[in-house]
Structure formats: structure tokens, C-alpha cells
């Protein structure tokens, strides 16, 4: 059998794979990068890029329908054309794929191969009958939607297939109150669907503080989105061209019928087809590859980057994974996984953005801390824009005066959270931003003001 040898093999073209391939090639390593589906991974194809394009369209529709209180009156009906929205999304995606294809096929030292990779042994992979070997392997295979038992035999949608719809659902039922379910729920309500969100827990976004979750629920209820908490979803069945979901709730009907069903109950890594058990790569019970502080697996010549290592599941953390690995390969300043402050946003409207610890986690850790808060309704810029929903929270360790974390729910929160992120990476006390002069009128000008009198966490 003909076996082709490379210095490095990358499996997957998500946010970590292509920049790593470019760096390896630049440093003289012959590099094979393998992709079984579309170039760009989750973010480009079914994640950030398409969903935020839809969020933008949904916001335009919402503004068009809800601007009379600002003195803007629109005569006639506001129409939402999902085919046009989808076509715009498809164009943005294709442009990104084309750019990646150009880079990966025209960069000297990189070989792009389409196909499904499987390890034959610890130094060899097979791709559709062809065999390749290398000294180093980098796994960047991402993840996919998890379909729970009780829903595998019905016509359900995932975050991937819902983006292919060309007609607006009459009644969209969403199982799962995490950020994926919330983003799709709000956008399709704004497109014109009736939306019901079923969440098994006692709040939306179970990782967040109760007051933040309650604030989000209030925002959604104001847009006539039905939220059913404590809803243990048992099963679903097709009823003609509709879907019935049987649920066990403390309140409300034990079943609900809708035209479409979206499953948003979490994700699983795409590691199950790689044959990793055979070569001895250690994974956790969910299939995520266990990695050390440098993102190496237990086999030191195999690294795991992006969603498949369970250390982030975000585009920005995947790219940072590339930065960590690349620093140990070619740079003097070595980055570590432990250097990272976890940060993320849910791009509902208004968005929620978060970095570091929240109040719930600070109490669990028994830390002595203070909290500075500000309601968006108390911020002049938010009132001027007519967008006063939400609140800001910043947490400060009492002894060190360093910021432990922040949660912002409000207009523009996904942008000005970075002032807190940057201060945390600078390892500076909160007084630095407290004493700063910010531009008026902005939302972020109230961050120094709210830090003037933080209160102890009870």
C-alpha cells in the first residue's frame, strides 16, 4: 500500500486548523489538512456567521415593527422574506469558504484533502482508502447537535437544518433554553413565528445568575415568546404534518403541538469516527479529548484544538487554541490554556456578555467579594436609545481589588464587556477603570461610576 508522509497532519478546518496549517507551512513543515465537509467548520457554516446574519435581519424586522414610541411610524405591513434572508446568508458563507479554499490550496507547503479521516495507528490515518503518516497530528474536528432519546424518530430540526428553511414556521417549539435555543427563538419570533421554549431547569441559561436569567425571561415574554420552565421533555411524535411534544411540567399542558421542532439541548464532539480508542487517546465520558495545559493529548504527538477538547466551544477559544499550540511550536513567549479567562456572549437582543466568575460561582467558591451593579434603565444613553432592558454586574475580590468577572445584559453588552476583559488580562485592580474618564454619552461611561461604591456580596 502506498503511504504518503507529511511532517504534520491536521484533521478539520475550523477556526484553529487553517491558521495552524499556514504557520506550520511557513516554518517549513509539509502539512496535510483534511476536511470531510465544508471548509470553515461550525463558525463559518452553521454557527456564528449564518446565525448572526439572521440575527441582523430579525433586528431590522423588530425595529421596523416597534419604532412608533420613538416617533417613527410605518404604514402597511412589514414583510419578512426568509428566502432572501437565506440567500444573503448563503452568499456570506460561500465567500468565507472560497477565501479559505484559496489560502489552503495556494499556500506552498499545504495540501488540502477532502474526505473522512480515521486513525489506523498512532502515526497513520486513512482517508477514503488512502493512507498518510506524520510525526505530529492536530485534531480540530468540532462538534454537532446532540439529539436526546425520545426525539430521534421525529422530524426535528437542529442548528444546522433550521438554517435551510425557506418558509417561516407557523409554530416553532424549541427544546432547550441555552444560548442556541434563545438566539433562534427570538429571531424566529421576530420573523413572525409563534415560539415556545421548553427548558428542563428552573431558569433559562442555567450557568447564569438568577437575576440575569429572570431578566432574559422578561425580555422574551415582552416579545410574546412562551417559556415553559421545569419542563422535562419526555418524547415527541409526528402528528400528520405537525409535531407533538409530550412534557412533564409543574404548570401548563402536558403536551404541546407545533409545526416545527428545534432540538437545542447541547452538543457532542465529532470524535466518534476517528478511531481514537484504538490508538489509546484518552477521552472523557462525553467523547471530548483530554488535553494538558499545552493542548496535548496523553499521546504527546497528538493535540486537540477547538470544540473537540471541551475547553471552550467558541470560535474565539478555538482560535486561542491555535495561538497556544503555535506558541509552543515556534514562539519564545509560551501561552497556556490556564492563562485564558473564559468569556462569551449570547447574541439575543439585547445581548448578554460574560467574563470570568459570576455571583453564583463566587459564592460556591467561598470567595470574599464585592459587586457593582447598574440597571440599564438608569443609564442615560440606554434611555435615549429606548433600549433600557437589562443590567450590568461587576465582581471584585476584596483582598486584591482585582476583577473576578462581569456579566452584562443590555444594549451593546457584547462590545463593552471587552473593557473588563482587557483589565483582567492586565492583572490590574478595578480602580484603574474606576478612575478612568469615559466618553459621554455612552453606555460604558457608567462603568467607572458604578465601580465607585461596590457592595459586599451577601
Tell me the C-alpha distance between 368 and 404, whole Å.
Answer: 11
Residue 232: CB atoms within 10 A of its CB come to 13
| Nine-digit cell string for 412 | 451593546
Ranges under pLDDT 50 in the chain: none
pLDDT at 199 (0 to 100): 94
The answer to whether 255 and 262 have CB atoms below 8 angstroms apart is no
Bond from prior residue into 441 cis (ω within 30 degrees of 0): yes
Q: Which three cell numbers stand for residue 335?
A: 501561552
**Which residues face 136 on adjacent strands?**
8
Q: What pLDDT does 410 receive?
A: 98
Tell me, what's the pLDDT at 250? 65
Strand-pairing partners, residue 173, are 196, 261
Q: Strands, DSSP E only, in 191-289? A: 194-198, 226-228, 232-239, 242-248, 255-258, 260-263, 267-269
| 440 in active site | yes
Residue 195 DSSP label: E
For 319, the grid coordinates are: 482560535
With a CB cutoff of 8 Å and minimum separation 6, the contacts of 400 are 429
Q: Which domains does the chain have, with CATH numbers?
A: 3-145+268-339 (3.50.50.60), 161-265 (3.50.50.60), 350-456 (3.30.390.30)
Catalytic residue among 38, 260, 301, 440: 440
Backbone angles phi, psi at 161, to 5 degrees: -75, -25
Q: What is the pLDDT of residue 248?
A: 75
Instruction: Give the cell for residue 342.
Output: 473564559
Are 213 and 296 in contact by the 8 Å Cβ rule? The answer is: no
pLDDT reported for residue 86: 98
| Predicted local confidence at residue 315, as pLDDT | 96
Phi and psi for 304 in degrees, rounded to 5? Answer: -125, 125
Amino acid at each position: 500500500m502506498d503511504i504518503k508522509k507529511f511532517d504534520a497532519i491536521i484533521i478539520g478546518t475550523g477556526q484553529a486548523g487553517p491558521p495552524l496549517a499556514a504557520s506550520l507551512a511557513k516554518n517549513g513543515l509539509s502539512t496535510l489538512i483534511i476536511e470531510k465537509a465544508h471548509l470553515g467548520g461550525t463558525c463559518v457554516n452553521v454557527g456564528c456567521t449564518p446565525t448572526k446574519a439572521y440575527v441582523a435581519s430579525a433586528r431590522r424586522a423588530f425595529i421596523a415593527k416597534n419604532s412608533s414610541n420613538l416617533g417613527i411610524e410605518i404604514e402597511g405591513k412589514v414583510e419578512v422574506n426568509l428566502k432572501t434572508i437565506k440567500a444573503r446568508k448563503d452568499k456570506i458563507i460561500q465567500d468565507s469558504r472560497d477565501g479559505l479554499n484559496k489560502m489552503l490550496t495556494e499556500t506552498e507547503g499545504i495540501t488540502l484533502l477532502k474526505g473522512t479521516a480515521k486513525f489506523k495507528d498512532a502515526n497513520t490515518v486513512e482517508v477514503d482508502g488512502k493512507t498518510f503518516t506524520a510525526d505530529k497530528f492536530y485534531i480540530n474536528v468540532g462538534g454537532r447537535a446532540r439529539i436526546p432519546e425520545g426525539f430521534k424518530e421525529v422530524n426535528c430540526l437542529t442548528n444546522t437544518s433550521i438554517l435551510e428553511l425557506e418558509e417561516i414556521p407557523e409554530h416553532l417549539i424549541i427544546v432547550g433554553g441555552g444560548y442556541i435555543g434563545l438566539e433562534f427563538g427570538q429571531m424566529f419570533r421576530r420573523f413572525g413565528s409563534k415560539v415556545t421554549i421548553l427548558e428542563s431547569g428552573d431558569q433559562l441559561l442555567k450557568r447564569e445568575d438568577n437575576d440575569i436569567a429572570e431578566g432574559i425571561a422578561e425580555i422574551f415574554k415582552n416579545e410574546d415568546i412562551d417559556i415553559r420552565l421545569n419542563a422535562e421533555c419526555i418524547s415527541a411524535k409526528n402528528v400528520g404534518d405537525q409535531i407533538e411534544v409530550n412534557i412533564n411540567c409543574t404548570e401548563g399542558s402536558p403536551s404541546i403541538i407545533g409545526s416545527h421542532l428545534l432540538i437545542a439541548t447541547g452538543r457532542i464532539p465529532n470524535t466518534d469516527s476517528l478511531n481514537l480508542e484504538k490508538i489509546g487517546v484518552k477521552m472523557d465520558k462525553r467523547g471530548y479529548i483530554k488535553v494538558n495545559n499545552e493542548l496535548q493529548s496523553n499521546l504527546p504527538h497528538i493535540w486537540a484544538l477547538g470544540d473537540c477538547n471541551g475547553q471552550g466551544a467558541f470560535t474565539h477559544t478555538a482560535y486561542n487554541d491555535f495561538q497556544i499550540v503555535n506558541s509552543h511550536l515556534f514562539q519564545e513567549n509560551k501561552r497556556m490554556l490556564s492563562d485564558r479567562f473564559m468569556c462569551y456572549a449570547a447574541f439575543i437582543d439585547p445581548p448578554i456578555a460574560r467574563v470570568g466568575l459570576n455571583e453564583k460561582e463566587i459564592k460556591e467558591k467561598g470567595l470574599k467579594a464585592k459587586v457593582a451593579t447598574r440597571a440599564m434603565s438608569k443609564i442615560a444613553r440606554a434611555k435615549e436609545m429606548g433600549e433600557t432592558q437589562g443590567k450590568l454586574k461587576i465582581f471584585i475580590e476584596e483582598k486584591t481589588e482585582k476583577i473576578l468577572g462581569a456579566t452584562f445584559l443590555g444594549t451593546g453588552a457584547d462590545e463593552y464587556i471587552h473593557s473588563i476583559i482587557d483589565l483582567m488580562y492586565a492583572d490590574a485592580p478595578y480602580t484603574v477603570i474606576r478612575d478612568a474618564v469615559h466618553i459621554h454619552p455612552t453606555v460604558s461611561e457608567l462603568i467607572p461610576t458604578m465601580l465607585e461604591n461596590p457592595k459586599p456580596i451577601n
